[in-house]
A and B are shown apart, each in its own frame.
Chain A
């Protein structure tokens, strides 16, 4: 059974960088069978795909966030990470990591990140 778990600070100050890590168990990122994604959901609103990464490190980002997003992978730890720079209150959301680069068949429980001074 594949499980994903997000971790990272729940509070980030405006203009700083949001950093989250997703730890995968029950599957190996290195297997190369899937892409691995980040998706976010502002409180009470809909879902927004942020981007995905392959085990090789190749990435694809949502153009609306591309200038501020970096997704990286650490296959030795079976983890992948998200960095979002220059955050504002509009980046306050529940951030999910998920298995898949097209549709998403396994999701983490999500972690709320609030941008506030």
Chain B
């Protein structure tokens, strides 16, 4: 069965600092990978996704993520965080062998210090 681990439950960074949110997945074949963001009391918004091709993926709001097969990771990065980036971030993995369903990680809550 596929699974997703987000090791950091909470992360606090200063505004303007760089950010990296970790995501590790467990799945044998090439996975389909996603990052979503959720503001309090809201639904999830897609930041970016990886299906195939270039392993460095650009998304909205200045975010990017890199697929590293050897490390089973899909970490999310942003070079300079803005106060409006404070939210919860979810990594998800899908596969054709798992009924095309997505499995979500537990989320990482990002706080931004002024």
> Are A and B interaction partners?
no
Which residues of A are at the interface with B, using a C-beta cutoff of 8 A? none
